[in-house]
């Protein structure tokens, strides 16, 4: 139970930090919340490429060791 509580507390602290950085950059609160809850929509093309490449490697690894 302690681990879940610590994980939720860390998530709350990190989301607050992320929201405050977005607000300091000039976004309004609604845009900052949108960025916080939809991380895949704000990713650049290179970041999406790395994400899909790592997912591909993970799936390839699963297929090899089956």
- Residue 39 DSSP one-character state: G
* Helix axes 29-37 and 2-24, enclosed angle (nearest 10): 140
Neighbouring C-beta atoms of residue 32, cutoff 10 Å = 19
Triad 57, 60, 64: Cα angle to 5°: 140
- Sign of the four-CA dihedral 21, 24, 27, 29: positive
Altogether, the residues listed in the chain come to a count of: 66
Tell me the per-residue pLDDT of 9-44, one tens digit each, with 9 for 90 and over.
999 999 999 999 999 999 999 999 888 888 777 788
Q: What is the pTM of this model?
A: 0.57
Two structure tokens written together for 38? 């939809």
């Amino acid at each position: 139970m302690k681990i879940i509580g610590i994980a939720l507390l860390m998530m709350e602290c990190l989301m607050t930090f992320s929201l405050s950085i977005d607000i300091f950059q000039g976004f309004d609160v609604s845009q900052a919340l949108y960025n916080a809850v939809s991380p895949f929509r704000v990713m650049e093309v290179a970041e999406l490429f790395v994400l899909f490449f790592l997912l591909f490697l993970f799936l390839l690894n699963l297929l090899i060791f089956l």
